[in-house]
Amino acid sequence: MSGSDADDALAADFVIGLLEGAELAAAEQRLATDDGFAKAVNAWRERLAEFDATAELMQPRPGLWQRIAASTQSMPADPRPAARPRAVGPRLWDNIRFWRVAGMSGAVAAALAVVMIVGALTTTRQLRNEMAALAERKPVYVAVLVDDQTKEAGAIVNTFANGRVELIPLRAIDVPAGRTLQIWTLWDRSVGPKSIGLTDQPRALQLDLKSLPETVQDQLFEITLEPQGGSPIGRPTGPILFKGNAARAL
């Protein structure tokens, strides 16, 4: 595993809450001093933020905290001195057979501990991978692109936490010969719209936003009808067929 992969895995464990003790303290220290690690942690928090939003709030039952406090109170110690057991035969620490059995038991316990640790690490990796896969399947932002005149939805743009962006058409779009559909996005009017995809026919399409900032709330997406090969000036020239703003996925 490369250093960046190890940092990403550590960041995932930190966000999920799988770190304890010295590992947790070290991760918290790196979070405050290591910009790369902090970025990885923020990326995982963004990926898993939607899971927090789906959790329902539950109020504890009346008296729960009182019962917890009562259960943690120390029991009074027995003031009577414990009776010392009567020695029978050789003392325990002089018994070679006892130490052989203890040594075997210790080896078995150590082996079981290794198995449990390996199993826990495997479970941790599986949990991290499963949560990552689930986060990647669930879009963070969704933009429904509609026709301004008919108010009919023509396509959906899904933006995912791993940077993947897809266009899914919802209806047939007539593309005349010699023309093409061009997909644009606008997040800053001072910068202007940027082309993120071309297609000659309405179909599912992976959009290219890798060189652009991360998608934000209300970011505009639109589809225009352009000359074959796309707009010659790097800005929309044809009519806007469908447009819509990004919103947080439910």
For residues 114 and 195, state if they share a domain. Answer: no
Instruction: Name which residue leads in pLDDT, 20 or 242.
Output: 242
Token pair listed for 96: 């070679």
Q: Are strands 205-207 and 194-199 parallel, antiparallel or unpaired?
A: unpaired
User: What pLDDT, on a 0 to 100 scale, did the predictor assign at position 10?
Assistant: 86
Grade residue 198 by pLDDT with cuts at 50, 70 and 90. very high
In a domain, 76, yes or no: no
Tally the domains of the chain.
Answer: 2
For residues 237 and 170, state if they share a domain. Answer: yes
User: What pLDDT, on a 0 to 100 scale, did the predictor assign at position 201?
Assistant: 84
Grade residue 88 by pLDDT with cuts at 50, 70 and 90. very low
Segment 32-43 mean pLDDT = 87
**What's the domain range around 14?**
1-54+102-137
User: What pLDDT, on a 0 to 100 scale, did the predictor assign at position 160?
Assistant: 87
Domain boundary among 137, 159, 188: 137
User: What pLDDT, on a 0 to 100 scale, did the predictor assign at position 190?
Assistant: 87
Backbone phi, psi, residue 165, to 5°: -135, 130
Task: Give yes or no for residue 2 having a pLDDT over 70.
Answer: no
User: How much of the chain, in percent, has pLDDT values that exceed 90?
Assistant: 27
Backbone phi, psi, residue 89, to 5°: 70, -160
**Residue-wise DSSP of 25-67:** HHHHHHHHH-HHHHHHHHHHHHHHHHHHHHSPP-PPPTTHHHH
User: What pLDDT, on a 0 to 100 scale, did the predictor assign at position 161?
Assistant: 81
For residues 106 and 48, state if they share a domain. Answer: yes
| Helix, strand, or coil (residue 10) | helix
CA pair distance 193, 217, nearest whole angstrom: 16
Task: Give yes or no for residue 121 having a pLDDT over 60.
Answer: no
User: How much of the chain, in percent, has pLDDT values that exceed 70?
Assistant: 62
In a domain, 79, yes or no: no
Instruction: Name which residue leads in pLDDT, 165 or 95.
Output: 165
For residues 216 and 128, state if they share a domain. Answer: no
Instruction: Name which residue leads in pLDDT, 130 or 147.
Output: 147
Task: Give yes or no for residue 71 having a pLDDT over 90.
Answer: no
Cα three-residue angle 26-29-32, rounded to 5 degrees: 150
